[in-house]
Amino acid sequence: MNILTILFHFFIFPGFLFLVIFGMFLTFLDRKISARIQWRVGPPWYQPYLDFLKLLLKEVIVPINSSKFLFLFAPVLSFLSAVISGTMIYYFLLYPQRSFLGDIIVILYFLTLVPVGFILGASSSRNPLSGCGAQREMMLLIGYELPFIFALLISIVKAGGKIKLGEIIMAQNNLSFLYSWSGLISFLTLLFVFQAKLGYVPFDIAEAEQEIMAGTILEYSGVSLALFKLAKAILLLSLPALLIALLWPAKSIFSFIIKFFFIFLLIVLMKNTNPRLRIDQALKFFWFILGPFSILGVILVLSGL
């Protein structure tokens, strides 16, 4: 594999350009479906692209006394880690043979760096409401990481203890992991965890507009805000793909798209039919309901179900 194909993979097809364009298109679909659920017409298809372009044209304001480097670096960190994790997920879906040992841990780390970027930016902006948002994001991160790791463990154990995404995909050639009790538990757990990772409604505590204005992204404007929005859009594109890779691999591109949109619809419907939880309710949900639930899944998978 020469350097050009590596660059192509990183910048164009499963990488940067693909993720940005399709991620923004998914945010349009999300807004359109939400609008139809509320019996509205909704925005035109080019709306997210225009929003992005407009944010590029706006002035970037750095608050006085904030840590300037960290304030401007945090959106870049979030965006780049979202791009890297998204690229890895799509690349291993395309070429399962080329995955390396421990890549699933790398993906886990990069997915965790996205909210870390949000936390860093919010805490460096010296705004009390942003600080509150950062604190909530941190609590949420602590809450959902544990069930997330247990849910990943189910797939890893089922694939025979291999921490390679490609091996997990190839182990499901005959039967998907989803069609078993532990696979179902892992699927449900991951669905809730992804909702929290995306910051969507039952768990949008960190960005609660009605309580703390915009929370973590309150002080951001212009390009930095656009990068944060893009990071969220890329997560929206890559997280359902990760779920498909872990539990429900598709044989053809067509069935991949159907499975992808099924999971995407579940996420959007959950977003539109739920109220926001309080931070203590969210933590209780993740630690005392989803945590034991996913541990039950691990026990089941260890006993061979």
Partner 1 sequence: MSIKLKALKKSPWVFHVSAASCNNCDIEILAALTPRFDVERFGILLVGSPRHADALLVTGVINRKSLPRVLEVYNQTPKPCLVIAVGTCACDCHMFKDSYNVVGPYDKYFPVDVYIPGCPPRPEAIIAGVVKALSKL
Q: What is the DSSP letter of 14?
A: S
DSSP code string of 170-208: HHTSSS-TTSSHHHHHHHHHHHHHHHHHHT-GGG-GGG-
Q: Does 220 sit near partner 1 (CB under 8 A)?
A: yes
Residues 55-114 that bind partner 1 (CB under 8 A): 57-61
d(CA 95, CA 93): 6
Give the x-and-dash track for 165-204 against partner 1 (CB under 8 A).
Answer: ----------------------------------------
Least Cβ distance, residue 40 to partner 1 (angstroms): 4
Pick from 146, 174, 172, 173: nearest CA to 158: 172
The token duo for 149 is 């790791």
Phi/psi of residue 46, nearest 5 degrees: -90, 5
- Taking the C-alpha atoms of residue 262 and residue 116, their distance in angstroms, rounded to an integer, is 29
Q: Which is nearer to partner 1, 48 or 115 (CB)?
A: 48
* Residue 222 interacts with partner 1 (CB under 8 A): yes or no: yes
The answer to whether 26 and 47 have CB atoms below 8 angstroms apart is no
- Considering only the stretches 11-19, 40-48, 82-90, 157-165, report the one whose residues sit in contact with partner 1 under the rule CB under 8 A: 40-48
Please compute Rg for the chain using Cα positions: 19
Which CB atom, from 217 or from 244, has the smaller least distance to partner 1? 217
Of 20-28, 49-57, 193-201, 287-295, the window that binds partner 1 (rule: CB under 8 A) is 49-57
Task: Tell me the C-alpha distance between 260 and 141, whole Å.
Answer: 25
Q: Which residue from 42, 67, 139, 284 is in contact with partner 1, where contact means CB under 8 A?
A: 42
Measured from the CB atom, is 91 or 228 closer to partner 1?
228
33 binds partner 1 (CB under 8 A): no
| Residues at the contact surface with partner 1, assessed by CB under 8 A | 31, 35, 38-44, 47, 50-51, 53-54, 57-61, 209-210, 213-214, 217-222, 225
